[in-house]
Amino acid sequence: MAGSTFGTMFRITTWGESHGEGVGVVIDGVPAGLPLSGQQIQDYLDRRRPGRNKYATARSEADEAHILSGLFEGRTTGTPISIAVYNKDQRSRDYSEIASYYRPGHADYTFDQKYGFRDYRGGGRSSGRETIGRVAGGAVAAAVLAKLGISLTAYTASIGPASCSPERFDRARILESPLYMPDEDAEKEALAFLDECIENQTSAGGTVECLIEGLPAGIGEPVFDKLDAELGKALLSVGAVKSVEIGDGIAASLALGHENNDAYKAAPDGSPVKLSNHAGGIYGGISDGSTILVRAGIKPTPSVSREQEALFADGHVDTIRIKGRHDPVIVPRAVVVAESMCAVTVLDLLLRNAAATMDHLRKIYE
């Protein structure tokens, strides 16, 4: 299987299956000398692990990170960092009957068509559990970015009809919220809606937003490797993501030109200051020095408890009821995944930018 590696200078390669021995990541391109601890990685993994409340799958996994290489005396050595998380609570028996049919909304049919067979135990590589490797890689990328004064803040912007209001945005409550929502009123509405979904044996979707702050102007490779294009690829590679917007996104297509343009003024020191940020901090595929705003649309969890019609391998259609333990909403656990993929993308482009000009090279080698 090709396509398990993301990045050019800073690269992550994820491995493992949902119901195999474990999952993990190999991270290449980490600069030597970065102070790094297992707890920094664990903090990220804890934000996506299952079983934290009734709005996430009941699968009980500690998701403990085991760093196998790349660290010595608490600092990175410059060699590949390998991180493993071993599966403990697979319950593969819950998935035995799935071998005979293709679950609606899943990749069962497409995997079968591509490879001629599939790992039906929870979806194998197409399972959301694959994102553990992405999150571990993102934790390392974020540690590098923090040393450069660059931070990322991701949060749930909406679930079903409940949307956060910019006027009520409270950054401090994101990690306190069971849904990672920065708006208490929107959270209450979302919780009530999710209770209805559980009662009706269905699931909900929503959106995740990520703010990237402190990124200097000039990051991103024009034409095919634009900053927004790379962020889009990074987020769309996550199985549950169905759309990506930068800044105003789709709303920009409904605006007039004079409304959509971001005007500038000069600060007292002569530096440019934007009066708005409809573009989300990116022009021509290159960062402009203001806050990057990325938004990802997350689909509802496809595995629901209510009866559905499904296509069987022998070609007939019949009613099925999917067994197992599933999230009534993916969005909160996708928050740290989106943040991690943004961190990996930004760090990769920063490293690539180091050789963009002679001035950059002189700073390193003269």
HEC assignment per residue over 317-340 = EEEECCCCCCCCECHHHHHHHHHH
Q: Out of 55-69, 197-211, 299-313, pick the least confident.
A: 55-69
CA distance 262 to 266: 13
Q: Which helix (H) or strand (E) holds 151?
A: strand 151-159
Q: Fill in the amino acid letter for 56.
A: A
Q: What are the two backbone dihedrals, phi and then psi, of residue 242, each rounded to the nearest 5 degrees? A: -115, -10
pLDDT, position 171? 96
Task: Specify which residues 163 forms β-bridges with.
Answer: 158
Confidence band (pLDDT; 50, 70, 90) for 231? very high
Confidence band (pLDDT; 50, 70, 90) for 111? confident
In tens, the pLDDT along 175-203 reads 999 999 999 999 999 999 999 999 999 99
pLDDT above 90 covers a percentage of the chain that reads 71
CA 346 from chain centre, in angstroms, equals: 13
Q: Are strands 71-72 and 66-69 parallel, antiparallel or unpaired?
A: unpaired
In the 8-state DSSP scheme, what is residue 300?
P
pLDDT surpassing 60 at residue 1: yes
**H helix runs in 174-253, sequence order:** 184-199, 227-236
Higher model confidence: residue 105 or residue 251?
251
pLDDT, position 94? 59
CA distance 237 to 122: 18
Higher model confidence: residue 115 or residue 156?
156
CA 236 from chain centre, in angstroms, equals: 9
pLDDT, position 122? 67
pLDDT, position 184? 97
CA distance 39 to 304: 34
Q: Indicate if the alpha-carbon torsion angle 113, 116, 121, 125 is positive or negative.
A: negative
pLDDT above 70 covers a percentage of the chain that reads 93
Give the contacts of 358 (CB within 8 A, at least 6 positions apart). none
In tens, the pLDDT along 265-295 reads 998 988 888 999 999 999 999 999 999 999 9
C-alpha dist (Å) from residue 155 to 142, 245, 246, 335: 16, 15, 15, 6
pLDDT, position 95? 64
CA distance 169 to 182: 5
pTM above 0.85, yes or no: yes
Confidence band (pLDDT; 50, 70, 90) for 320? confident
In the 8-state DSSP scheme, what is residue 312?
E
CA distance 283 to 275: 15
Three-state SS at 228:
helix
CA 54 from chain centre, in angstroms, equals: 21
pLDDT, position 58? 57
CA distance 128 to 298: 12
C-alpha dist (Å) from residue 42 to 38, 138, 202, 327, 345: 6, 11, 31, 21, 21
In the 8-state DSSP scheme, what is residue 248?
T
CA distance 132 to 16: 10
CA distance 264 to 277: 10
Rounded mean pLDDT of the chain?
92
pLDDT, position 17? 87
Mean pLDDT computed over 81-101 = 78
Mean pLDDT computed over 249-274 = 92
CB 208 within 8 A of CB 334: yes
Give the contacts of 206 (CB within 8 A, at least 6 positions apart). 156, 157, 158, 159, 160, 190, 297, 298, 329, 331
pLDDT, position 188? 97
Cα-based torsion angle of the residue sequence 62, 3, 324, 241 in order, rounded to the nearest 10 degrees = 90
In tens, the pLDDT along 9-56 reads 999 999 998 888 899 999 999 999 999 999 999 999 999 887 666 666
